Structure 1
């Protein structure tokens, strides 16, 4: 069914005023294929949207926005693991809650990450020491041209840091319709970040980790239902060891995370904070006062406000540290997704 009001404001967590030519809700793969073919016939741009939690609409979208609402959670229990088959339109946090309620641990570190399950593999979502790839079994991808569904095993998804094959080969004309998760019964808690390090790995429960992660996220991150935002705006940059050491010599308290390949991951939020940008605003957009990695719609911001602020933050950090931050948020222009780095250059 199509909506009468073509406003996208309630469909993106930045709560930016933008419109689409057509907005359609779909509940199954047949409806999804039909919506895609209709857009092709009209030669309209096509955008599949979950909950709009990781997008920045730069302007009105001239094509068809299709809201993925394919639901369903199926659980298969084996001797040493649980297998979950989850519709792409399910809410991610609600899935984490579902698993806990059914005494299935393994997703608790990923609590309160906004968005739909179908978006999770695209970004290879991660938080507090876990990325999706560590629990992903497979991803079902629909070829909207043919109606055929292909199952990609986890090792075929080319997962990386906020990276996957779904940003490249399986992008145009394809849609994620389901995700398979594999959760071991030999659960080992991940306690490497923040308040989680205080727990005893021998006695901690998945529920305690879940509660702690929720508390940490709620204390640092603004609720998009109250203050428009898209979560972490920039990726944490990875630099060579020499660059990291050079910055550390000047800033000994700098957080850093050595990587297996010898590179060093830095905290983008810390870099923005050291550039004295907390609370800085352009128009109605601002850098969040508590978490510098988050840009917010503080006061009826326009898309141009957010874009200008994102560019200013990027340029200021580069001037101070020689590091160019890359947006994690997807930038959507009138005709579809555009390269975020180029949009800020």
Structure 2
């Protein structure tokens, strides 16, 4: 048995039957040909997965590395191994004068997780910069490339969470950063900056995230637990009748995004705890393991939050974090 406590940032004291590392494409082929129909879970830095109990299968740890840069007068292209650290890549792009990722600084996880989740922050989603994604098809035992359109990117979602879930292992992500890219600073608190440079944005994002979000190395957590819900204008107007100052961001002519943290905060969940799992006092969107937490406590708290938000606002929250049980991903 393999301990998982240090392999996922929530830090529950759970186990897996086996663990293997993949460093090359040949490793991938060898590992999955060996696993065949056996149960597995692909893991990067463990920042978006919570192992609620012992996992009855093999953990496949992604260690695919490498960064290639190709540049012309209009853009910088990057081909990046899926096992690279996302934040390290953001720092690297800034060091070579390639801009666009700065709003996404300090998001935990690997590069391979970025297209799966279509990670985003402060008005920027990574799909804007993804040209294509390379992956290994487990069942066909072959490598393929999906262009941007075929990845089916939407808010915090992609084809890799649906049709290709547990069928594809992302090996490389190909990005394009336009040299005329404009900084995005319309979201608070970035909108307080005057004519910011990409470095200014990068530094401010790190400052804000460090201040608001607990360090998982100190206090176990997986970042934002729930997605920010997108609702119709009708639902927004119904909430406005009780909460005139509800924060929201326009998504389309008929829909808006409401911060999940605000919804949770209105219901008084800050600081509430179930069996060692607590809703963070400063950021209610983050659930934390105070050290003695377990999967049962997390499910109790998360399900109570979801139920109360549904009852109070007629909004169904979705968990952004993957919850892993004995036999794989489970629903909240």
Deviations 1:34-83 (A, max 9, x none): 1122222xx42111100111112121111110100000010001110000
| Matching residue within 74, 78, 82 for 1:80 | 74
Instruction: Give the CA deviation at 1:172.
Output: 2.4
The answer to whether the aligner puts 1:168 opposite 2:165 as a matched pair is no
Task: Report the TM-score when normalising by structure 2.
Answer: 0.97
What stretches of structure 1 move > 3 A for 4+ residues in a row?
none
Q: How does 1:87-102 map to 2 (within 5 A)?
A: 87-102=81-96
Aligned equivalent of 2:241: 249
The size of the alignment, in residue pairs, is: 332
Aligned equivalent of 1:282: 274
Instruction: Give the CA deviation at 1:173.
Output: 2.7
Deviations 1:205-248 (A, max 9, x none): 11110000000111111110110001000011111111101111
Mapped to 1, the partners of 2:190 and 2:126 lie a distance apart of: 19
Secondary structure of the 1:9 match is: coil
Secondary structure of the 1:296 match is: strand
Mapped to 2, the partners of 1:139 and 1:197 lie a distance apart of: 32
Deviates more, 1:246-255 or 1:101-110: 246-255
Aligned equivalent of 1:107: 101
Secondary structure of the 1:33 match is: helix
> Unmatched 5+ residue regions in structure 1?
none
Secondary structure of the 1:62 match is: strand
Aligned equivalent of 2:5: 9
The answer to whether the aligner puts 1:185 opposite 2:179 as a matched pair is yes
CA contact (8 A) 2:272 2:279 kept: yes
Aligned equivalent of 2:123: 129
The answer to whether the aligner puts 1:51 opposite 2:12 as a matched pair is no
Mapped to 2, the partners of 1:10 and 1:33 lie a distance apart of: 26
Task: Report the TM-score when normalising by structure 1.
Answer: 0.94
Secondary structure of the 1:76 match is: strand
Mapped to 1, the partners of 2:136 and 2:38 lie a distance apart of: 20
Q: How does 1:183-222 map to 2 (within 5 A)?
A: 183-201=177-195, 204-222=196-214
